[in-house]
Amino acid sequence: MKKDLGVKPYLFPMPVLMIATYGDDGAVDVMNMAWGGICGHDMVSLNIDDDHKTSENIRKRHAFTLSVADIPHIEAADFFGIASGNKMPDKFERSGLTAEKSQKVDAPIVREFPLTLECEVVEDKMEVYGHHVIGRIVGVLADTDVLDEKGYVDPTKLNAFVFDQFQSGYYAIGEKVGQAWSTGAPLMKK
Per DSSP bridges, beta strands 130-142 and 99-101 are unpaired
Letter for the amino acid at 101?
Answer: K
Cα gap 179→142, rounded to integer Å = 22
At residue 71, φ and ψ (nearest 5 deg) are -60, -40
Q: Is the peptide bond before 13 cis (omega within 30 degrees of 0)?
A: yes
> Which residues lie below 8 Å from residue 99, measured CB to CB, with a gap of 6+?
20, 28, 92, 108, 109, 110, 111
At residue 80, φ and ψ (nearest 5 deg) are -65, -20
- Say what the pLDDT of residue 112 is: 98
- Say what the pLDDT of residue 54 is: 95
- Say what the pLDDT of residue 101 is: 98
- Say what the pLDDT of residue 184 is: 92
- Say what the pLDDT of residue 177 is: 87
Mean pLDDT per block of 10 residues along the chain (190 residues) reads 91 92 96 92 94 94 96 97 91 97 98 98 92 97 97 94 92 88 89
- Say what the pLDDT of residue 189 is: 87
- Say what the pLDDT of residue 117 is: 98
What does DSSP assign to residue 179?
-
- Say what the pLDDT of residue 12 is: 85
- Say what the pLDDT of residue 175 is: 83
